[in-house]
């Protein structure tokens, strides 16, 4: 049995990775989370529907507590999701991001190395690329320049640097940073989903509007240099993203260290997403056009060929209707 620790596993993406690991069945799973944006109910659902989890409420900023926790257990691998991730908040309160995302990651990596953890998977983000001037037809590759435009993106890129330097100095410690593009949808099994409060993620917002939880939704800018004037993004189903983590863990058995984009390599415009949600839900809902938001590039599409070539990752849910439907079904499940 592989002993895996997930940090931030009470949150959206971490819980879907936990689910996939539990389904695989050969893992002893521990989750730590401070429940700042995650939910105890998510852990309960994981246990009820997918299998046993050891849950420890722990804040990664409690460094002594983290060290005590590691002294009592042994792990083969860590998948590190715990972070703060609201871009405008990171502009207003950058130190929260540098402390929670960067300093706590540095400490976690140090503790992992000191206690002999060999594998580390890190949740990074397309935000490390900032506002690329142009996107090649095949999408943005890992070799593209990194140039974050907000503290959130910087906090993640700095964590990647920490991992790279630490792994070079400690060859028994191997890491992969996965740069996620736009994550959306919910467990195809319908048991867990995205419960994030005040979410700004387009597909979740569209699902909420379709269900009347919001009166209307806003499209931020319709004058971008794209066919319909709205931004284009690479939406990846959260279960496919979760499977990429399992592949990354396997990959570390063969080859150390690396950075991988995770997306499908094609994009949909905001208007296309809204139309798809209307079709899937069978409901029309009001849309308003609002001004562009600062820092929104016109197009962000992943070139994920490196992940496809180096691992056996084969997306199973590359289907915008399915992404919208699972998001909608989960939104119906949530009471508020």
Ligand X SMILES: NC(=O)c1ccc[n+]([C@@H]2O[C@H](COP(=O)([O-])OP(=O)(O)OC[C@H]3O[C@@H](n4cnc5c(N)ncnc54)[C@H](O)[C@@H]3O)[C@@H](O)[C@H]2O)c1
Binding-site ranges for ligand X (CB under 6 A)? 8, 10-14, 33-38, 59-61, 81-83, 85, 100, 104, 123, 125, 180, 182-183, 196
Nearer to ligand X, 40 or 288 (CB): 40
Nearer to ligand X, 180 or 260 (CB): 180
Rounded alpha-carbon distances, angstroms, from residue 168 to 96, 121, 164: 28, 16, 6
Q: How far is the CB of 171 from ligand X (least distance, A)?
A: 26
Nearer to ligand X, 83 or 157 (CB): 83
Structure tokens given for 327 = 């998001």
Is residue 258 within a helix (H) or strand (E), and if so which, with residue range? Answer: strand 258-262
Nearer to ligand X, 61 or 229 (CB): 61
Is 264 catalytic? The answer is: no
Q: How far is the CB of 152 from ligand X (least distance, A)?
A: 7
Listed residue (211, 213, 203) closest to 321, CA to CA? 203
Query: Do 223 and 213 contact (CB within 8 A), yes or no?
Result: no
C-alpha–C-alpha distance, residues 3 and 249, integer Å: 12
Q: How far is the CB of 327 from ligand X (least distance, A)?
A: 12
Find all residues with CB under 8 Å of 289, minimum gap 6, and list them. 218, 219, 221, 222
Q: How far is the CB of 125 from ligand X (least distance, A)?
A: 4
Q: Is 184 helix (H, G, I), strand (E, B) or coil?
A: strand
Listed residue (240, 236, 193) closest to 49, CA to CA? 193
- Quote the radius of gyration of the chain (alpha carbons, Å): 19
Given the residues 50, 129, 152, 317, the one annotated as active site: 152
Nearer to ligand X, 61 or 257 (CB): 61
Nearer to ligand X, 86 or 188 (CB): 86
Q: How far is the CB of 284 from ligand X (least distance, A)?
A: 27
C-alpha–C-alpha distance, residues 278 and 286, integer Å: 10
C-alpha–C-alpha distance, residues 59 and 77, integer Å: 19
- Rounded to 5 degrees, what are φ and ψ at 269? -80, 165
Q: How far is the CB of 282 from ligand X (least distance, A)?
A: 26
Q: Is 295 helix (H, G, I), strand (E, B) or coil?
A: coil
| Site of tokens 């004058």 | 223
Report the half-sphere exposure of 125 (CA within 13 A, side-chain side).
28
Kindly list the catalytic residues: 152
């Amino acid at each position: 049995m592989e002993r895996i620790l997930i940090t931030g596993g009470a949150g959206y993406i971490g819980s879907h990775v936990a689910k996939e690991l539990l389904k695989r069945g050969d893992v002893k799973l521990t989750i730590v989370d401070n429940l700042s944006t995650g939910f105890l109910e998510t852990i309960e659902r994981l246990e009820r529907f997918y299998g046993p989890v050891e849950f420890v409420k722990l804040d990664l900023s409690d460094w002594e507590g983290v060290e005590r926790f590691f002294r009592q257990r042994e792990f083969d691998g860590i998948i590190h999701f715990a972070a703060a991730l609201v871009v405008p908040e990171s502009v207003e309160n950058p130190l929260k991001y540098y402390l929670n995302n960067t300093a706590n990651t540095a400490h976690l990596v140090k503790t992992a190395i000191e206690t002999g953890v060999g594998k580390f998977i890190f949740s990074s983000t397309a935000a490390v690329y900032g506002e690329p001037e142009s996107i090649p037809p095949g999408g943005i590759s890992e070799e593209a320049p990194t140039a974050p435009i907000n503290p959130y993106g910087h906090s993640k890129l700095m964590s990647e640097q920490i991992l790279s330097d630490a792994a070079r100095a400690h060859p028994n410690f191997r890491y992969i940073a996965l740069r996620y593009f736009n994550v959306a949808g919910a467990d195809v099994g319908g048991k867990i989903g995205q419960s994030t409060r005040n979410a700004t993620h387009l597909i979740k917002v569209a699902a909420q509007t379709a269900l009347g939880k919001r009166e209307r939704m806003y499209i931020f800018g319709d004058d971008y240099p794209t066919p319909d004037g709205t931004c284009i993004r690479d939406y990846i189903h959260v279960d496919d993203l979760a499977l990429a983590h399992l592949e990354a863990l396997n990959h570390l058995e063969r080859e150390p260290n690396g950075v991988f984009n995770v997306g499908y390599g094609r994009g949909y415009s905001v208007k296309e997403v809204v139309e798809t949600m209307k079709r899937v839900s069978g409901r029309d809902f009001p849309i308003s056009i609002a001004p562009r938001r600062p820092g929104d590039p016109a197009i962000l599409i992943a070139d994920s060929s490196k992940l496809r070539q180096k691992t056996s990752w084969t997306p199973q849910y590359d289907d915008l209707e399915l992404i919208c439907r699972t998001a909608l079904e989960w939104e119906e499940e949530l009471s508020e």
